Structure 1
Amino acid sequence: MTTLERDRDTSAALNRQGGGDSPSARRQLKLPLAPSLERRRLQAYLLLMILDGMVIAGSLLLASLLYIGRADDSQTLQQINLFLPLYWSGALFCRAYSTQSLTSLRFGQGRAVMAILIALALTLFVVFFSKSSEQLSRVSTGVGFIMIAIGLVWVRAVIQPLIRSRCGPTAQNVLVIDDGGTPVRVPHAWHIDTREHRLSPDRSDPHMLDRLGMFMTNMDRVIVSCPPERRKDWAMVFKGSNISGEIIDPEVQEMGVLGARRGNGFGSLVVSVGPLGLRARAIKRAMDLAIAGSAILALAPLLIAVAAMIWLEDRGPVFFRQQRQGRNNRLFWIYKFRSMRVEKLDAAGARSASRDDDRITRIGSFIRRTSIDELPQLLNVLRGDMSIVGPRPHAIGSLAGQRRFWEVDPRYLLRHSLKPGLTGLAQVRGLRGATDSEADLTNRLQADLEYLDGWTAIRDIRIIFATFTVLVHDRAF
């Protein structure tokens, strides 16, 4: 695949119909623009499946040889015959053999490891109910599965350059057609101009449809940018071309359209859905309860000690409560260890804490710097007001520069589609502390919106572990 500039420099316009006055109209363009990648993708999938099978069989045989002293042990051979189809099934289920696995090494490696875990769970299930677990060598099996995981990760790293050279950086042929609409640039795609190539979505001209078909040959995805009055014509061309066709509409980006629906005699654009389905909400809530409950029990001595020191310093209340905006724009009371002097507490949050803030107590300075003051929010998690991971809740009076947060960017309210969190993507990226300027809010808002775009339990776990590296931070004051 290539870009528009290279296309124009090294190729030329196909001109079979009149004109020919411009240099671009007199040059010839070789069609189809690109070879089909479908067969190459299938070959890459097959190669990965074969290599995965070799790694699995080789690892289990080697583990048996090292532990038992023989590679052709009957139990090991039975284990291979059982595990291989289970692994391949799990790999297909979790998309270890997909376009994204060909283009993203991390994605491919992660999905291969996930398929191993699925296959291992199914293997143990079968062995348990067949009452053959006593015949299974736990040491040999454990070592074998560790070797399998290492081997699959290594094989994908080694084979990635070959796959990239065969299938390209995106493993797809993408064609972008500029027909006078909003300019669009797609990396690693073919870009053509209908004016240069004398193309139009004329459904009444079989020859024109044939020319369009030649340009779209071997394309996995075709995107057209055109004025509104020609969108219907392009849509009909795509529908009759057996092609994955897309039409650019600027309002889709402006409104944040998620999809479209048809029915009952009308069509509609889907602009909002709950970010988490029932299963995802159940998983996230179970994680919250398990982590928050365990953390409170484990940190009980620390919580009691901090509470005692806060009270002993000025005999004031241990906790600070403040109203903040949570899911569905509902207000809730957030709990924190009090870090400021009682007479200078700011319940509305109009003034952000700053370095050398005269309102902060001695113990307050320490617990803010180490993020210990946030620990009582584990109670908010148990109550269901908050989650362990999510956009941080802000005080309703907070300012970015001289403006309210929602006045700076109207997308700010999108953060409230999920429960607020103890930590989030913005926090692990170091975007925390006072919002002295509008840019401070914009940067963390962008991180929060990125988090909202497709929740996974694995990403939550990564953020939780990353949080431990930023508990002490130069903007935590």
Structure 2
Amino acid sequence: MDLSVINSIAIIYLLSEKNSIIFSIFISMGWVLLSVYSQFYEVYRYTRPISILSLTVKQFILFLLLVFAFSGLYHELDIYPRPIVKYLLLCFLFITIFKFAIYYLLQKYRTSFGGNYRTTVIFGLNKKTIALDNFFNKNPEYGYSHKKTFDFKKKEHSLAECFQYVLAENIDEIYCSISELTNAQIADTVDFADNNLKILKFIPDSKEIYAKRLQYEYYDYIPILTLRNIPLEDSVNTFLKRGFDILFSSFMIVFVLSWLTPIIAILIKLESKGPVFFKQSRNGFNYKEFDCFKFRSMMPNKDAHLYQATRGDDRVTKVGKFIRKTSIDELPQFFNVLFGDMSVVGPRPHMVSHTTMYAKRIDKFMVRHFVKPGITGLAQTSGFRGEVETDKDIIGRVKFDIFYIENWSLLLDMKIIFQTFVNAVKGDDKAY
């Protein structure tokens, strides 16, 4: 269907009366090869819509470059850049509509007609398998019909009985908890699944290394597991993120800070004596210290570098309350982004004293320093911004920051920026 779309639009809009055979062959073969490379059709029933959109954007950026390359090499067709961009936008629009239409129609088909279902069982009973059981039962649109969860702790069922049940009920997928089965039982389950054409998936034990997002690498023929895969260690991703940071921060400095800074400066100076900007040492990429800039929102005080602002803090000025509530006080950090110390999106940097304290007390806190800190971040848009009142707050922040580091994409950055803007307009309860 996608090949039909890109070829039909090309013939109708881009090529007109010109010979389209060479162009059609080229873009069809190119589309297929790019799809394999970008895993464009690796969409499953559990794939999130945001991931589908990310795949679509990636595919069309690559396809745009491919069509431009063809137009540059094959001059006979006289295809110009502007029509190419319009052609690609039309293709992007139609294919995105078709892709999401199929995705949601399949979900509707499962919930309304009970079709396209896969039956499942779970071997082992614990918190994670209960959560998976609830996921299957509460999300029928994903198309899973969960039949039974076997508890091996109470020894009510033998593994042989479980296998008989799987065959009798014609189960499609077996989900096996690693922590609930012995190595011998896991080996038997693998053999059973292979010999009976059943899909077998494992639920890792959170206490073990298998719960991590591991990456396989080979040194000659020796398999090596990397504990943490960080997309921003890839040079292409680093280039994309840095390019976006420079463009976005330059835009904000030229079109927002250029006129907003004098207004905020006058308001700050009218209310209290002291500098307009507040400079504070914070830890950034690879734990390196840098000076983080903000509009001053407090009366000058000696404790500013030691203690966070608290609810009803006497140090915060009237102007300070407004700029903190709307996050305007953070805008000078776009200069930090332009200088390369920060990124637009990333884990929020902490005061040096707090970083030292949390590094000793909170597990995996230092993982946040594998990437540049950000003006905003996933943790902040997920309810973990502002004052750290309990360890639960900082643990939640670290959890979201690590998820961001391991799952970075330019689309995720866009989503976080949009959500930050929405929160700034609505006002955040923890912005004080």
TM range (shorter): 0.7 to 0.9
The equivalent of 1:259 in structure 2 is 214
RMSD: 4.4
The equivalent of 1:336 in structure 2 is 294
Change (3 A) 1:460 1:244: same
Q: After alignment, is 411-420 or 233-242 more displaced?
A: 233-242
Once residues 329 and 393 of structure 1 are traced to their aligned partners in structure 2, the CA distance between those partners, rounded to angstroms, is 10
The equivalent of 1:199 in structure 2 is 159
Normalization by structure 1: what TM-score?
0.68
> 5 Å matches for 1:265-304?
271-272=227-228, 276-279=232-235, 280-298=237-255, 299-304=257-262
Change (3 A) 1:349 1:132: farther
The equivalent of 1:146 in structure 2 is 89
SS in 1 for 2:375: strand
The equivalent of 1:235 in structure 2 is 187
The equivalent of 1:159 in structure 2 is 102
Does structure 1 residue 92 correspond to structure 2 residue 36? yes
SS in 1 for 2:278: strand
The equivalent of 1:326 in structure 2 is 284
Does structure 1 residue 52 correspond to structure 2 residue 12? no
SS in 2 for 1:250: coil
Change (3 A) 1:418 1:105: closer
CA deviation string 1:399-454 (max 9, x = no partner): 9xxxx756885344443333221111233345433344555445544433432331
The equivalent of 1:386 in structure 2 is 342
The equivalent of 1:4 in structure 2 is none
Letter in 2 for 1:96: F
Does structure 1 residue 458 correspond to structure 2 residue 423? no
Q: 8 Å contact 1:177–1:225 — kept in the other structure?
A: no
CA deviation string 1:257-297 (max 9, x = no partner): 33388999x99975456563232334323333343344334
Residue 60 of structure 1: CA displacement? 3.5
Change (3 A) 1:159 1:362: closer
> 5 Å matches for 1:381-460?
381-396=337-352, 409-429=362-382, 431-437=384-390, 440-460=393-413
CA deviation string 1:113-132 (max 9, x = no partner): 43233222201111112224
The equivalent of 2:129 in structure 1 is 184
Residue 320 of structure 1: CA displacement? 1.7
Change (3 A) 1:444 1:251: closer
Residue 321 of structure 1: CA displacement? 2.2
Q: 2:205 aligns with which of 247, 250, 255?
A: 250
Q: After alignment, is 290-299 or 168-177 more displaced?
A: 168-177
Once residues 163 and 378 of structure 2 are traced to their aligned partners in structure 1, the CA distance between those partners, rounded to angstroms, is 50
Once residues 292 and 285 of structure 2 are traced to their aligned partners in structure 1, the CA distance between those partners, rounded to angstroms, is 13
Q: 8 Å contact 1:296–1:378 — kept in the other structure?
A: yes
Change (3 A) 1:117 1:379: closer
Q: After alignment, is 446-455 or 55-64 more displaced?
A: 55-64
Change (3 A) 1:267 1:395: same
Change (3 A) 1:329 1:275: farther
Residue 391 of structure 1: CA displacement? 1.4
Q: After alignment, is 88-97 or 245-254 more displaced?
A: 245-254
Q: 8 Å contact 1:289–1:381 — kept in the other structure?
A: yes
> What percentage of residue pairs aligned between the two structures are identical?
26
Does structure 1 residue 350 correspond to structure 2 residue 307? yes
The equivalent of 1:24 in structure 2 is none
Once residues 128 and 272 of structure 2 are traced to their aligned partners in structure 1, the CA distance between those partners, rounded to angstroms, is 63
Larger radius of gyration between Structure 1 and Structure 2:
1
SS in 2 for 1:460: helix
Once residues 244 and 447 of structure 1 are traced to their aligned partners in structure 2, the CA distance between those partners, rounded to angstroms, is 31
Once residues 381 and 171 of structure 1 are traced to their aligned partners in structure 2, the CA distance between those partners, rounded to angstroms, is 48
Structure 1 gap ranges (5+):
1-50, 201-207
